[in-house]
Amino acid sequence: MASSRRAFLGYTALAGATVFASAAGMRGLRFPSLQLEPAATPRWAKHSALGFRADSQGAFYQREDARQLVFRAYVPEPVVQVHGAFELKMGNVHPQARLNIEGDGKVSEERIDGLFRRVTGNSGKSALTLRWVFPKQVHYRFTAIGDTGGDLELAWVLKRSQQLGADFMLHLGDYYYQPVDTERTTLHLEKSPLPVFSAIGNHDFHNPFGGPDPQDFIQQIGPRNSTFTLGNIQFINLDTAVDHLPVSAGKRGQLLQHIQPLATNPDVGDYVVFAHRPITDPRPVKTRPSDHSVEGLREDDWLYQQLVQRGVRHIINGHIHISTEFDDRHIRTYISGQGLAHADIIGRRLQARILVGNVEPGIPVTYQWADLNMPFEAHCNERLHKILGSDDYADQLEPLKAACTAADA
């Protein structure tokens, strides 16, 4: 099976090199299905009626409302330059983040509503810079988990992260498992008690149920590749959702070119790399249904070398619905893919886990596992009900229906 897939990818590479070479350029191709790498979402916008403009760093433009431009942050400390009399809405900002203002203009009001900031003001004759500063810089905590879907399981993971004292969460991809997940993901992230910074998963890139495509993720959640530094820790979000062709092309390759080796980067004490598919699938070949790594077209070797050359010591992945850690040669790999907590259903006891990262001054990030403790009623969705309808788990279906009925009462 693996060899036939490699052969098919090889033929695809040759065809792609011939047919799409001039069009793809350094943008690259993605497979499956064969397509140009998706375009990035805009980072700036000008209000069509009111005329003011906003240019962002660490945030992306989502839409225009009657009087405001709406952006979503994909880093803890977004920056926006505004020109003119403005009204701006910024999402995914920590509730305790402080707004710094630079320039001759003024801010009339900043309203805080959960993770949203609504800012009105006037830049005056020159640009006014709005810079949100994260409340913690040297002591902070984050959680990391993927494969939650966009339903009640996601809502619980966000709540559990807050219970564990996390200041933000790294989502490792796969929000979109069913058609309703596109809308529900957006609603849960808007109501989240803490900011979420997300890698794109294979189900987010192309969904067999139809509907979501890469642009849904890009326009609602964030870019496929990004980086930010908080304190002296640099976080690197890499797109491993589907295969790259060639492996070095596109935004991921461009981002990695700008990452310095840790030994020559005096302002950074450690790298935290997070992505969906892992470099290596740790499960025994004879027992796993298929290889869930990025081994296609030797992408695994290329990515591993890129990270090792930069001094990366740890990588966090999802995609495989397990929680485990192992040494992949010189890189410690954490797989935190139990966001659906199906292991609890299959094993008939709570056993799913979530990864916790702790940042302290002067030392690399430390990691530990915590119990996810997902309540039974968080599994109240049609997708799981269909799974439990099979003979293997039929005994779990009636208790689940009862729990869901009680939760709705």
Give residue-wise pLDDT tens across range 245-266: 999 999 999 999 999 999 999 9
* Domain final residue pick, 95, 116, 133: 133
Q: How far apart are CA 383 and CA 391, in angstroms?
A: 16
pLDDT tens digit sequence for 159-171 = 999 999 999 999 9
Q: Are residues 368 and 382 in the same domain?
A: no
Q: Are residues 109 and 6 in the same domain?
A: no
Q: Are residues 201 and 90 in the same domain?
A: no
Q: What is the predicted pLDDT for the residue at 53?
A: 98
Q: What is the predicted pLDDT for the residue at 131?
A: 98
Q: What is the predicted pLDDT for the residue at 304?
A: 98
Q: Are residues 62 and 187 in the same domain?
A: no
Using the predicted structure, report yes or no on whether residue 403 has a pLDDT greater than 80: no
Longest Cα separation, the chain: 70
Q: Are residues 287 and 307 in the same domain?
A: yes
Mean pLDDT across the chain: 90
E-assigned strand segments in 14-149: 29-31, 35-36, 44-46, 53-57, 59-64, 69-73, 79-83, 85-91, 98-102, 106-113, 116-122, 128-133, 140-145
Residue pair 247/302 in contact (Cβ under 8 Å)? The answer is yes
* Domain final residue pick, 133, 156, 183: 133
Using the predicted structure, report yes or no on whether residue 14 has a pLDDT greater than 60: no
Q: Are residues 358 and 383 in the same domain?
A: no
pLDDT band at residue 382 under the 50/70/90 scheme: confident
23-27, 76-80, 83-87: least confident range:
23-27
Residue pair 344/384 in contact (Cβ under 8 Å)? The answer is no
Q: Decide: helix, strand or coil at residue 300.
A: helix
pLDDT tens digit sequence for 196-248 = 999 999 999 986 566 557 888 999 999 999 999 999 999 999 999 999 999 99
pLDDT tens digit sequence for 277-330 = 999 999 999 888 888 999 878 899 999 999 999 999 999 999 999 999 999 999
Q: Are residues 178 and 324 in the same domain?
A: yes
Q: Are residues 154 and 247 in the same domain?
A: yes
pLDDT band at residue 104 under the 50/70/90 scheme: very high
Q: Are residues 252 and 367 in the same domain?
A: yes
Q: What is the predicted pLDDT for the residue at 212?
A: 54
Tell me the residue range of the domain where 397 lies.
Answer: 378-408
The tally of domains found in the chain comes to: 4
Block residue for tokens 């009105």: 120
| Mean pLDDT value across residues 376-397 | 75
Q: Are residues 317 and 401 in the same domain?
A: no
Using the predicted structure, report yes or no on whether residue 15 has a pLDDT greater than 50: no
| Mean pLDDT value across residues 77-99 | 98
Q: Are residues 114 and 189 in the same domain?
A: no
* Domain final residue pick, 133, 156, 186: 133
Closest by CA to 324, choosing from 285, 367, 378, is 367
Q: Are residues 264 and 305 in the same domain?
A: yes
> CATH no. for residue 296?
3.60.21.10
Q: How far apart are CA 11 and CA 252, in angstroms?
A: 23
| Mean pLDDT value across residues 125-131 | 96
pLDDT tens digit sequence for 148-158 = 999 999 999 99
